[in-house]
């Protein structure tokens, strides 16, 4: 049996909500993985690791790390 249009719309709604939660969590995690934000010694290559893991540009990750990224990251 195929899903009705209403069921498909509800699935879209749920998936969109999950995407928003997942993005918010990524924005929350990014600053947390930079030891210098915790007053610890900087880890060489950490920015590159986060860029690779996230698919974001270096500039975008740095902005999120510094609290200047999207509203969700502030």
Cα–Cα distance, 39 to 36 (Å, whole number): 5
The total number of structural domains in the chain stands at 1
pLDDT score, position 73 = 54
Q: pLDDT value at position 2? A: 80
Q: Is 27 among the domain residues? A: yes
**64 in a domain, yes or no?**
yes
Please say whether the beta carbons of 64 and 27 come within 8 A: yes
Does 42 map to a domain?
yes
Q: Which is more confidently placed, 1 or 7?
A: 7
Hey, is 39 helix, strand or coil? coil
Query: How sure is the predictor about 11, in pLDDT bands with cuts at 50, 70 and 90?
Result: very high
Residue 7 belongs to a domain: no
Asked whether 12 and 18 are in contact (CB, 8 A), the reply is no
Residue 23 confidence (pLDDT): 95
In the block, which residue shows the tokens 């698919």?
55
For 17-72, the pLDDT digits (tens) are 999 999 999 999 999 999 999 999 999 999 999 999 999 999 999 999 999 977 65
In a domain, 1, yes or no: no
Which domain does 32 fall in, by range? Answer: 12-73
């Amino acid at each position: 049996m195929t899903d009705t249009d209403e069921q498909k719309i509800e699935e879209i709604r749920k998936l969109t909500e999950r995407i928003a939660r997942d993005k918010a969590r990524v924005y929350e995690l990014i600053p947390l993985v930079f030891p210098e934000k915790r007053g610890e010694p900087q880890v060489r290559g950490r920015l590159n690791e986060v860029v690779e893991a996230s698919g974001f540009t270096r500039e975008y990750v740095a902005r999120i790390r510094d609290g200047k990224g999207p509203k969700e990251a502030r």
